[in-house]
A = this chain, B = another copy of it.
Amino acid sequence: MSLSDLILGKPLASSESKKEELTVWTGVPVLGLDALASTGYGPEAALTVLSIAGVPALRYYPLIVILVVLTLTTLYFSYRQTAEAYPNGGGAYNVTKDNFGTGVALWAAVALLLDYLLNVAVGISAGIGAVVSAIPSLHSHTLMLCLLVLLTLTLVNLRGVRESGLFFVAPVFVFVVCLAITIGTGLIRTWLSGGQPQPIVPPPPIPPPTASLSGWLLLTAFANGCTAMTGIEAVSNGVPLFRQPTIPNAHKTLTVIMLILSSFLLGLGYLCPAYHIGAMNEQQPGYQNILSQLLAAVAGRNVFYYVSLSSVFIVLTYSAQTSFADFPRVCRFLAEDCFLPPAFAKLGRRLVFSCGILVLTSFSGLLLIVFGGITDKLIPLFAVGAFGAFLSSQTGMVRHWLRKRGPRYRTKLFVNAIGAVTTAIVLVIIILAKFKEGAWMTVVVAPGLVVLLRKINQHYKKIAREVGQAVELHPSEINPPAVIIPVKHWNRATERAVRFGLLLSKDITAIHVSTEKEDKGRLQELWREKVEKPAEALHSPIPQLRIIDSPYRQISEPIIEFVNRTAKEKADRPVAVIIPELVEPHWYEFLLHNLYGPKLEAELLIKGDERVIVINAPWRLRDT
């Protein structure tokens, strides 16, 4: 068993891929995971902004949560329709491509890629935020822990997640149940105490305000809070995964997710101000996320607290996991449409798209490092990506109804138009409110990526134009080549190369590049004795020897120059360069040679005339 087999698992045959079918019970954890996990950072992101205006600002928190839930509701209705209209999977890329063509779809694809990328970074950093809330001594290792989780996810995904969805069910249920118990208990205590509940472990005091409350601050808090609805699109993307009848099952699942998520958001929106819970600075030791503060306040720091926070960590990590399935899939669509290299569409050894996984890991690792694993700094970038994807999907749907029409299309058009307008407004708010905090990056990077994808596409198109035609074979249209053989010494390897050259042509020139004051006469004499005489004796064509001086001790340059000059002189025939090369049985033995051969070959391919063909005549050394 090789090392790669051990780490990545044995290769799987193409026929071993399998399919699973989701019900509502499994659909909620599998496709709702991402949306539900947003509870782990969305509400806190909004509260972080409000907290800088101090305790009085907290009373506006419920208002912001209500706005977020309203936006979520419009998205809910929109995505119900998307699921219905695209039963084969209504990802933003497919919907936009179907309705506007690939030009516009590229923008959707870029928004999706950024969305998934940031989902990984935010999911992991928020998950580690939960860990350091429970175990404060780990706070100084935040970034290291984030990268460790990322590495684990990467390895797991390169192996391929064969367990797939069902594996997620239990932790998501624990998460939902724990959060429901906490919020429920908190609400009852608050009502029983007349709105002034006594926390079991009091949350840390909220520091004095450093900014005054303003409309702008509320807008910013809303922009941040909108990340609470990321992942809501997963159900409409995954309709074909459901058991028959797929659409009703998808609808029910989406409804359940929507209801759970809304009640969590509203519950947190009510309880945080009631318990005087504010968002703490993630960069300061002693940081606790708001779920940790709420759990401690409502239930104390007991087993329940640790179980709940563990489930928060696991669910957030799993939500990052979903991107590992989705990001490579979008890359694959792009590669199949020739916007990315074909490697992205190639199934790896374990039937996963390894290339996409590695790119996702590299960039999300970079994001984590640049932002030090701090969720709050990643939120603005994430919000732009997510709402960019929402917007493209919604506008695609609007166009869909305008084109398709069909029964009751006006109502459907209206619902999606409301969705598109709401999303557009939110996106503008996010960009304006969080421009300086990082939204500008997404705004700069996205068009850059679109341009890059287009350039790549143009490149493939050019290749297709130039070589793609299925021309007829023209067997007669070729003359025997002029053969050129670079020789360093006359030995058995060179002899075999010359012999092979005689098969190809009568016109053979050996060239020797002389870099130092060496005995050129010796090689000339050998040539006369060992090559010319035997060839004459057999009336075979006689290979010529040419010696070229190289005062600057270059080897390949004079050879390439000679080859290209020959190609110009003999314009009616190809030029074949035969490179005699020693091949060692072990890789480290290659270190013992100058590797002129491979270097010359690479340079001949790149700098050689159009008609130059390179022939490798290897002499394979035996392993002794």
A538 to B472 Cα, complex, angstroms: 12
Instruction: List the B side residues contacting A608 at CB < 8 Å.
Output: 618, 620
A534 touches B503 (CB 8 A): no
Q: Mark A580-624, 1 if CB is under 8 A from B, else 0.
A: 011101000101111000000100011010101111111111101
Q: How far is the CB of A332 from chain B (nearest CB, A)?
A: 12
Across the two chains, which residue of chain B brings its CB closest to A580? B467
| Cβ-neighbour of A475 out of B471, B473, B502, B605 (below 8 A) | B502
Across the two chains, which residue of chain B brings its CB closest to A456? B592
Is A214 part of the contact surface with B, judged by Cβ < 8 Å? no
Is A516 part of the contact surface with B, judged by Cβ < 8 Å? yes
| Cβ-neighbour of A534 out of B473, B581, B615 (below 8 A) | B473
Q: Mark A548-575, 1 if CB is under 8 A from B, else 0.
A: 0001110000000000000000000010
Across the two chains, which residue of chain B brings its CB closest to A458? B624
Is A164 part of the contact surface with B, judged by Cβ < 8 Å? no
B552 touches A594 (CB 8 A): no
Among the 9-residue stretches A10-18, A231-239, A291-299, the one with 4 or more Cβ atoms under 8 Å from chain B is A10-18
B492 touches A469 (CB 8 A): yes
| Cβ-neighbour of A526 out of B15, B470, B476, B612 (below 8 A) | B470
Q: How far is the CB of A217 from chain B (nearest CB, A)?
A: 45
Is A135 part of the contact surface with B, judged by Cβ < 8 Å? no
B503 touches A481 (CB 8 A): yes
Copies of chain A in the complex: 2
Among the 9-residue stretches A36-44, A317-325, A340-348, A419-427, the one with 4 or more Cβ atoms under 8 Å from chain B is A340-348
Is A55 part of the contact surface with B, judged by Cβ < 8 Å? no
A621 to B606 Cα, complex, angstroms: 10
Q: Would you list which residues of chain A between 445 and 503 have a CB under 8 Å from chain B?
A: 456, 459-460, 462-463, 466-478, 480-481, 489-493, 495, 498-500, 502-503
A591 touches B553 (CB 8 A): no
Q: A492-B469, A500-B574, A621-B466 in contact; A540/B476 too (CB < 8 A)? A: yes
Q: A540-B476, A553-B14 in contact; A613/B621 too (CB < 8 A)? A: no
A478 touches B491 (CB 8 A): no
Instruction: List the B side residues contacting A188 at CB < 8 Å.
Output: none
Please count how many residues in chain A sit with their CB below 8 Å of the partner chain's CB atoms. Answer: 84
Instruction: List the B side residues contacting A582 at CB < 8 Å.
Output: 463, 467
A605 touches B622 (CB 8 A): no
Is A170 part of the contact surface with B, judged by Cβ < 8 Å? no
Q: How far is the CB of A236 from chain B (nearest CB, A)?
A: 28
Q: How far is the CB of A228 from chain B (nearest CB, A)?
A: 38
Q: How far is the CB of A259 from chain B (nearest CB, A)?
A: 41
A614 touches B616 (CB 8 A): yes
Is A256 part of the contact surface with B, judged by Cβ < 8 Å? no
Q: A473-B534, A499-B475, A574-B500 in contact; A593/B346 too (CB < 8 A)? A: no
Is A369 part of the contact surface with B, judged by Cβ < 8 Å? no
A594 touches B495 (CB 8 A): no
Is A329 part of the contact surface with B, judged by Cβ < 8 Å? no
B490 touches A552 (CB 8 A): no
A583 to B469 Cα, complex, angstroms: 17
Q: A616-B614, A618-B605 in contact; A467/B481 too (CB < 8 A)? A: no
Instruction: List the B side residues contacting A616 at CB < 8 Å.
Output: 601, 605, 613-616
A349 to B554 Cα, complex, angstroms: 9
Q: A478-B503, A516-B14, A618-B605 in contact; A473/B341 too (CB < 8 A)? A: no
A427 to B469 Cα, complex, angstroms: 76
Is A206 part of the contact surface with B, judged by Cβ < 8 Å? no
Q: A610-B620, A613-B500 in contact; A495/B471 too (CB < 8 A)? A: yes
Instruction: List the B side residues contacting A517 at CB < 8 Å.
Output: 14
B470 touches A530 (CB 8 A): yes
Q: A13-B551, A504-B504, A534-B474 in contact; A460/B592 too (CB < 8 A)? A: yes
B553 touches A347 (CB 8 A): yes
A471 touches B13 (CB 8 A): no
A601 to B618 Cα, complex, angstroms: 11
Is A166 part of the contact surface with B, judged by Cβ < 8 Å? no
| Cβ-neighbour of A491 out of B470, B481, B601, B617 (below 8 A) | B470
Q: How far is the CB of A598 from chain B (nearest CB, A)?
A: 9
Q: Mark A521-553, 1 if CB is under 8 A from B, else 0.
A: 000001000110011001010010000000111
A-B contact pairs, 7 of them (CB 8 A): A14-B551, A467-B493, A473-B543, A476-B538, A585-B606, A605-B616, A615-B615
In the A-B complex, the 7 residue pairs with the closest CB atoms: A475-B540, A13-B551, A614-B616, A467-B492, A473-B531, A341-B592, A615-B615
Q: Which residues of A contact B (CB under 8 A)?
A: 11-15, 341-343, 346-347, 349, 456, 459-460, 462-463, 466-478, 480-481, 489-493, 495, 498-500, 502-504, 515-517, 526, 530-531, 534-535, 538, 540, 543, 551-553, 574, 581-583, 585, 589, 591-594, 601, 605-606, 608, 610, 612-622, 624
Given contacts A471-B495, A477-B499, A478-B499, 18 further A-B contacts (CB under 8 A): A14-B551, A341-B591, A342-B594, A460-B592, A467-B492, A467-B619, A470-B491, A473-B495, A473-B535, A474-B495, A475-B534, A475-B538, A612-B618, A613-B617, A613-B618, A614-B615, A614-B616, A615-B616
